[in-house]
Amino acid sequence: MDKFTIAMAILAFMIVAGGLIYTAGIGRLVDIRKSEIDTPMNEKIQRHPYIRNPIFLTYLIALGLVGFYILYLAFTRSW
């Protein structure tokens, strides 16, 4: 394994770990809010519910990085 492969693996692990921590934090925040009072949703979130979801954002970022890595390997490796 070359250095770039190891760096990409570490970056991917950090993204997944960051997404997990962020999602857990949002989950706790939602549980606290639901137990106290049911608040109305922000108008921006109502218009764009998928863009504001951290899980979807994590998957999109990870998919982009994996795609970049596949293209990198396709153009740099000699078959």
pLDDT digits (tens, 9 = 90+) for 7-32: 888 999 899 899 888 888 887 877 66
End-to-end CA distance of the chain: 16
Chain-centroid distance of CA 21 in Å reads 10
Query: DSSP label at 79?
Result: -
pLDDT per position as a tens digit, 49-71: 666 678 888 888 999 999 999 88
User: What six digits make up the tokens of 26?
Assistant: 């949002």
Average of per-residue pLDDT values in the chain:
81
Q: What is the DSSP letter of 1?
A: -
From CA 65, how far away is CA 14, in angstroms rounded? 12
Helices (H), 1-79: 3-36, 43-47, 54-76
